[in-house]
Amino acid sequence: MDKIRIRGGRPLHGEIMIGGAKNASLPLMAAGLLTEERLVLGNVPRLADIDTMTSLLAQHGIAVDPVGNDGRTLSLGGAITSTEAPYDIVRKMRASILVLGPLLARCREARVSLPGGCAIGTRPVDLHLKGLEAMGAQIELEAGYINATAPGGLRGAMIVLPFASVGATENLMMAAALADGQTIIANAAREPEIDDLARCLIAMGARIEGLGTGTLTIEGVKALHAAKHNVIPDRIETGTYACAAAITGGTVLLRGADLSHLAAVRSVMDSAGVELTAEPDGVRVTRRNGLHGTDAMTEPYPGFPTDMQAQFLVLMSVAQGAAMVTETIFENRFMHVSELTRMGASINVHGASAIVRGVPSLSGAPVMATDLRASASLVIAGLAAHGETIVNRVYHLDRGYEALEQKLAACGADVERIAG
């Protein structure tokens, strides 16, 4: 298995190209199931999770073909030949659940493996299922699979989400686009990736109102048609490299990034002594002087993203003073803390909060993480640490960061992938 070797202590200077958002691309690809015509998606990042979604769609009969030479434009199309999403693919990526709504809406049946356990908490899919049931689906759980049918087709419904789940909002919005009548999703998630999906569905002929608000109103239509859509820049990749630049004391232009999606991150980073400024080509990251301990609490958008918690925690681990970082979205999302402690960080977890006491420096060590963002946080720690850090289980990083080591090396980091 590949590893990443980092020799820390070098400030990052230069430019990093920010790719299309993984978490927007995955639901957008699932939306390819909603039409028999072609859906063309531009600015799709080249990531292992995109390959997993490609395999899943192929299993349903939808071909995902690259268009042109950039490898970032995908054309999706084909007739649905299977409504089953098997365990072997779903277990690799939880976002596979996003095929459930589209399959049910298009084919009136779907059999999707339950995603099962996950390193960052139990992560049930009950909100997806309850919403689909409200739309008339009959759902049974059997032998680890969700068996869903809607013999008369899905019909519009009033759905109040008890929690603004990103995936449930996406699944239900896609299903509602082809349901009979009006669906209202109240307490819908408001993440930019949801807006991006809604804009693509509208380009495909869907009737959706309330974008960017907590209430989405969807008038079902009989069929959706071909469309072309460009994926928004990845705000989490942006925030990750912002933390990387800041911890090394460097200055980096994150080319193509959109600061408007990062208001909460910008504000917290500002208090910590790091400036994120919009430039015509992207976002510039500059550290004013030292880093200051700053509290942060993860919340649904527009709050501070849970997917930035681990990276920000590392930044705080070398800040002056103390910081309290509270995780409200996922239970059990502090698995990176024990590895950071091995690198010399002083962090205590009490329930949903991590209390960080900044230390003057970290020291390199062999480390590994159990999820994507935690792995990214260890890379950031390695960039700041004295000596050599080896990050194991690189496949987590490959799920969500394209060419991570090349992007960092181009800005002066001493980082390389060791094939193993």
- In the set 118, 200, 243, 411, the catalytic residue is 118
**Of 94 and 292, which has the nearer Cβ to ligand UD1?**
94
Residue 420, Cβ neighbours under 10 Å: how many?
Answer: 8
Q: Which stretch binds ligand UD1 (CB under 6 A): 159-167, 255-263, 287-295, 383-391?
A: 159-167
Residue whose CB is less far from ligand UD1, 373 or 407: 373
DSSP letter (8 states) at residue 218: E
Q: Is 126 in the site for ligand UD1 (CB under 6 A)?
A: yes
If the CB atoms of residues 214 and 412 are measured against ligand UD1, the closer one turns out to be 214
- Distance in Å from the first CA to the final CA of the chain: 5
Q: Is 171 exposed, middle or buried (0-12, 13-18, 19+ CB in 10 A)?
A: buried
Chain length of the chain:
420
Q: Does 31 bind ligand UD1 (CB under 6 A)?
A: no
Q: Does residue 91 belong to the site contacting ligand UD1 (CB under 6 A)?
A: no
Judged by CB under 6 A, does residue 163 bind ligand UD1?
yes
What string marks each residue from 267 to 296 as x (binds ligand UD1 by CB under 6 A) or -?
Answer: ------------------------------
Under rule CB under 6 A, residue 128 binds ligand UD1: yes
The DSSP line for 11-29 is PPEEEEE--B-HHHHHHHH
The footprint of ligand UD1 on residues 227-256 (CB under 6 A) is none
**Residue nearest ligand UD1 (C-beta atom):** 167
Which CB sits closer to ligand UD1, 26 or 408? 26
118 is catalytic: yes
Is residue 123 within the footprint of ligand UD1 (CB under 6 A)? Answer: yes
Binder of ligand UD1 out of 71, 116, 117, 124 (CB under 6 A): 124
Burial class (CB in 10 A: 0-12, 13-18, 19+), 260: exposed
**21 is a contact residue toward ligand UD1 (CB under 6 A):** no
Q: Choose the stretch contacting ligand UD1; rule: CB under 6 A; options: 4-12, 160-168, 345-353, 410-418.
A: 160-168
Q: How many residues sit in the footprint of ligand UD1 (CB under 6 A)? A: 23
Q: Name the DSSP letter for residue 32.
A: G
43 touches ligand UD1 by CB under 6 A: no
Residues 6+ apart with CB under 8 A from 337: 313, 345, 347, 349, 354
Q: Which of 339, 329, 331 is nearest to 376 (CA)?
A: 339
Helix (H) or strand (E) holding 48: helix 48-60
From 322, 359, 325, select the one nearest 344 (Cα to Cα). 359
Task: Name the burial class of residue 1, with classes exposed (0-12), middle (13-18) and buried (19+) by CB atoms within 10 angstroms of its CB.
Answer: exposed
Q: Rounded to the nearest whole angstrom, what is the least distance from the CB of residue 139 to ligand UD1 in the complex?
A: 12
Q: Are 398 and 47 in contact (CB under 8 A)?
A: yes
Per-residue interface string for the shown chain with ligand UD1, residues 373-412, x marking contact by CB under 6 A: ----------------------------------------
- Which listed residue (26, 28, 74, 103) binds ligand UD1 by CB under 6 A? 26
Stretch that binds ligand UD1, among 2-10, 36-44, 271-279, 305-313 (CB under 6 A): 305-313
Pairwise CA distance, residues 176 & 43, whole Å:
26
When the beta carbons of 231 and 318 are compared against ligand UD1, the nearer one is 231
Which residues, 6+ apart, have CB-to-CB distance to 17 below 8 Å?
Answer: 255, 256, 407
- Torsion angle of C-alpha atoms 31, 33, 39, 42, degrees rounded to 10: 50
Could you say whether residue 168 binds ligand UD1 (CB under 6 A)?
yes
Do 249 and 315 form a contact (C-beta atoms < 8 A)? Answer: no
127 lies in the binding site for ligand UD1 (CB under 6 A): yes
Query: Minimum CB separation from ligand UD1 for residue 301, in Å?
Result: 7
Closest residue by Cα to residue 250 from 258, 242, 238, 259? 242
- CA torsion 383-388-393-399 (nearest 10°) is 20
Among 19, 136, 167, 293, binds ligand UD1 (CB under 6 A): 167
23 touching ligand UD1, by CB under 6 A: yes
The answer to whether 330 contacts ligand UD1 (rule: CB under 6 A) is yes
Please give the positions annotated as active site.
118
> Residues in the site for ligand UD1, rule: CB under 6 A?
23, 26, 94-95, 121, 123-128, 163, 165-168, 189, 193, 305-307, 329-330
